[in-house]
Amino acid sequence: MERVRLRKSLPALLLSTLLFLLGVPAASAAAIPSPGGAVVDQAGLLGSGQADAVAKQAEQGPYAFRILILPSLDGESSEQYAYDVYESWGLAENELLLLIGSEDRTVDLHFMNPGLQAALNAWSANQGGGSGSEAIKQLLDTYFIPYAKEGDFGKAILSVIGATHAIGGDAGAESGASGGSGPGAGAAAGSSGGSDSGTRGTGTSAGSPAAAPRSGTGTDGSSRSLVYILAGAVLAGLILYVTVTGIRRRRQLRASQEAISDLLVRANRGLEALQPFQGIVQGKTQQLADTASRTLSDLLVKLSALSSEQQSGSLPAFYRLGALSAANRQLQGAESELRTALEEQEKSIAAISEADRTVKQHINELKQAAPELQSEFQDALQETGYGLEDIADDLKELAEQTAEADKLELFDPIAAQTVSAQARELQEQISRDVQDVDVYQDKIHGFPAALAAARSEIAALIEQNALQNMKVKPYELLKQAEADVALLEEELRGGDLNEVRRIGAEMDRRIEDAVSMTKRQAEIRLANRRDLNQIREGWKELGSAQERLRSLIASASARYARSHIEPAEAALAEWSRRLREAEAGVPEIEAWTADERGEFDKAREGLDRLLALQDEARRLLGEAAGDLGELDNRLARVEAALRQGEADAEAARRLLQSRGLHARDGLAGLPPYRDLQAGLSAGPYQLDALEASARAFLAGVAAYAEEAQRLVRRKEEEERLAQMAAMQAQMRREAERRGGPGGFGGRPGGGGGHSSGSSSWGGGGSGHSSGGSKW
């Protein structure tokens, strides 16, 4: 059932893949969202409070704003996308679309109101700017971008709304009357402002349909062709993958079948190799051969059945990847199991064949070496006059093992091989023992000279280094070595060379230790005298360190609180006591080091303790002095924080004063400042409290400076709004003086063209025809 389902599923899979790819839409730009009130924030750029405030302000005044905030435009032109949204939402002449792309860092203002465009053109000209989309861009750069750079998008939107109402208020009041009459009404020109005719295609708007018409037919056709090409490529790739994978798995399956055939041949060869031994061998060899024969026969049956099954069935089709994979796993698992069992039996057959081929040679080598080894033993007997009974017993056992291996060689080569291997090891041991008889006999004869040389060296060391009263006993070790040599000779006579070797090594070690311990005593004696002088100098150095610490404590006590001084006083008292106690034990160590006492090891232990104590005292007394010295650095940092805070507060006060703003209480209103001044006014200084006050003071100054910046920004905003109001009033007076009809809207037709301008916050041009910058 699984193979049938797989066969049926593959064509369906290919067809469904092709249909899916053909159904992919050609456009990849951001979809146009549905209108949802004055604010549609799909990027979450505004908080709930900000969104409510913006929505309320967007519905007030002569123009109704629609704010659309998206995470990204997916690479589409902001002007083109704003046009699409404006048309899709069906916005009226007094409705303006403000489009913000948060990740793209772009902003676009789009509307279809010639009167407002004319007002923006006039405002931009007064500012020294251009007209059309340039005027809209200047509006955004002036009122949106500064707040966007600070991340305050709510204020940025509200600023644009307020500025637009202020600049185009009159045009907005008359837009309803002027926009619906005249010969040019309803024309969808791509005007970016400053165009009066309303004739289609006469404007300069960046991103308007007249400036960049959309060709749906050509785009859809090319996109559809691209989809067909991609679908064909994917389908071809899928077919190629299935074909290549299927062929590879069929090859793997054939390789496994060939491996089964190879195992069948090897099993037959193994049975043929066992035939010469069947019915002849006995014992261990017979057991091993019978087990191998039975196992190989069973393997032949299994391999034959598996081979027949594979030959009778046909391989799955190349596109049935699942069936091929399952067949491969099953066949490879069976092949691996049978191969392992066959290899084990091949090792047994190889062991039988190797034993049958080599055991006779090994036995002959044992027989050939026996006379020479017996001759060497007889020579050792004659030269030494010893009995060497243990070696004689080993020679007898060797002869018995050789005879047993020779007897087993014909009918049980495996057992004969084991016995001959044991006999070879025994033969090597006997040969080594016979050779060592002469070596240890010479050692016994040379022992008196070696003993005398050791005594002479020890005596010289004692004399040169005044070690007559040392507590170690090297001569006792030499006496023990004399006893060892007598025991060694007794064991050598009996031929127990293993025990002889052990006793000889112990005897050599005793002589070596006797000399080395004497040398060590001489070295310790010299080191003790040197370190004793070092310790005497150490007391002087530590005394100076204690006096220096007392001086620092006295100086710091006059400036700093007791809590800062007490740790150093405690360390001084503790180490003064410990050093006095340790110094009291020095005379005893000097006595141990004296040649009359000769207790050099005990003196060494005491000196090591004193040296370690002095090192620890230097470290801890130095740390206490360093901590006292750090008090001045901590105080200097507090004073520097005070000066820095005062400077920052003064800078904030001057900033407020330069903008004509009243600076509230200033430093006098910061409680940490008063605490810091009071703490620094006179000692003793509590540095922990001063540092806490300094941190609080700097935090307060930072908050004060931030508040000053906020007040300055608010005043600048108020000044900017007042400037816009004055400008509006001036423009209204100018319009009344000219007495022109329709306010800023131009001829009665109004034009009705789309106006669009874009900007972006972030450093550099946006690349669109309308120009822009990044926030």
Summarised one tens digit per residue, pLDDT across range 599-651 is 999 999 999 999 999 999 999 999 999 999 999 999 999 999 999 999 999 89
39-41/755-760 β-pairing = unpaired
**Angle, helices 474-494/497-557, rounded to nearest 10 degrees:** 150
Average pLDDT (61-65) is 91
Q: Determine the average pLDDT of the residues in 91-118.
A: 92
Q: pLDDT band at residue 9, thresholds of 50, 70 and 90?
A: very low
Q: What is the pTM for the complete model shown?
A: 0.46
Burial class for 749, CB neighbours closer than 10 Å (0-12, 13-18, 19+): buried
Mean pLDDT of the region 123-148 = 91
pLDDT of residue 481 exceeding 90, the answer is yes
Report the pLDDT value the prediction gives residue 188, as an integer from 0 to 100.
34
Between CA 731 and CA 128 the distance in angstroms is 16
pLDDT of residue 171: 59
Q: What is the pLDDT of residue 462?
A: 92
Percent of the chain whose pLDDT exceeds 90: 49
Query: How far is it, in rounded angstroms, from Cα 34 to Cα 36?
Result: 6
In this predicted structure, the answer to whether residue 768 has a pLDDT above a threshold of 50 is no
* Residue (of 198, 230, 201) closest to 114 by Cα position: 198
Q: Could you give the dihedral angle defined by the CA atoms of residues 740, 745, 747 and 749, in that order, rounded to the nearest 10 degrees? A: -140
pLDDT of the residue at 174: 47
Q: For 262-273, what is the mean pLDDT?
A: 87
**Which of 91-95, 321-325, 544-548 shows the lowest per-residue confidence on average (mean pLDDT)?**
321-325
**What's residue 202's pLDDT?**
32
Which has more pLDDT, 42 or 217?
A: 42
- Which residues, including other chains, have CB under 8 Å from residue 511's CB and lie 6 or more apart? 450, 451, 454, 477, 478, 481
Tens-digit pLDDT profile for residues 687-721:
999 999 999 989 999 988 998 999 999 989 999 99
Average pLDDT over residues 528-545: 94
**What distance in Å separates the CA atoms of residue 308 and residue 57, rounded to the nearest whole number?**
89
d(CA 132, CA 116): 11
Band of pLDDT at residue 775, cut at 50, 70 and 90: low
DSSP structure string for 434-499 = HHHHHHHHHHHHHHHHHHHHHHHHHHHHHHHHT-TT-S--HHHHHHHHHHHHHHHHHHHHHT-HHH
CB neighbour list of residue 765: distance below 8 Å, 6 or more residues apart: 771, 772, 773
| pLDDT given at position 39 | 93
- What is the pLDDT at residue 774? 43
pLDDT at 225: 76
pLDDT, average across residues 550-570 = 93
pLDDT for residue 200: 32
Question: Is 478:510 a contact under the CB 8 Å cutoff?
Answer: yes
| pLDDT at position 487 over 90 | yes
Residue 14: pLDDT band (50, 70, 90) is very low
pLDDT band at 186 (very low <50, low <70, confident <90, very high): very low
What number is the average pLDDT over the span 403-424?
91
- Better-predicted residue by pLDDT, 8 or 606: 606
Average confidence score pLDDT of the chain: 83
**CA distances for 380 relative to 372, 431, 441, angstroms:** 13, 11, 11
Q: With bands split at pLDDT 50, 70 and 90, how would you rate the model's confidence at 48? A: confident
Question: For residue 317, what pLDDT band results from cuts at 50, 70 and 90?
Answer: confident
Beta-strand relationship, 106-111 and 755-760: antiparallel
CA gap 167, 139 in Å, rounded: 10
pLDDT at position 664 is: 64
DSSP, collapsed to helix, strand or coil, labels residue 755 as strand
Which tokens go with 687? 């540095």
Does residue 156 register a pLDDT over 60? yes
Return all residues near 505 (Cβ < 8 A) that are at least 6 apart.
none
- Reply yes or no on whether the pLDDT at 2 is more than 50: no
For residue 685, list its beta bridge partners: 560
Instruction: Report the run of H or E that residue 106 belongs to, with start and end.
Output: strand 106-111
In this structure, of 221-225, 253-257, 398-402, the range with the lowest mean pLDDT score is 221-225
Query: What confidence score (pLDDT) does residue 175 get?
Result: 47
**pLDDT 10s digits, 351-381:** 988 888 898 899 999 989 999 999 998 999 9
CA distance 141 to 497: 106
Q: Which residues contact 56 (CB under 8 A, 6 or more apart)?
A: none
Q: Residue 211 pLDDT more than 90? A: no
Residue pair 193/131 in contact by the 8 Å Cβ criterion: yes
Question: What's the pLDDT score for residue 371?
Answer: 93
What local confidence, expressed as pLDDT, does residue 306 receive?
80
Question: What percentage of the chain has pLDDT greater than the value 70?
Answer: 83
CA angle 594, 596, 600 (to 5 degrees): 50
pLDDT at 292 over 70: yes
In what helix (H) or strand (E) does residue 705 lie, and over which residues does it extend? helix 687-738
Which range has the top average pLDDT, 180-189, 287-296, 533-542?
Answer: 533-542
State the CB neighbour count (10 A cutoff) for residue 327.
20
Closest to 119 in 3D by CA, of 721, 718, 727, 722: 727
* Residue-by-residue DSSP string for 46-75: S-HHHHHHHHHHHTSSSSEEEEEEES--TT
> Is the predicted pLDDT of residue 222 greater than 70, yes or no?
no
Structure tokens belonging to residue 542: 């530590």
What letter does residue 685 receive in the DSSP assignment? B
pLDDT of residue 749: 40
CB 513 within 8 A of CB 453: no
Which pLDDT score, from 0 to 100, does residue 459 have? 94
Cα separation, 546 vs 622, whole angstroms: 9
pLDDT at 274: 83
The pLDDT value recorded for residue 10 is: 47
In a 3-state reduction of DSSP, which class is residue 111?
A: strand
pLDDT > 70? residue 468: yes
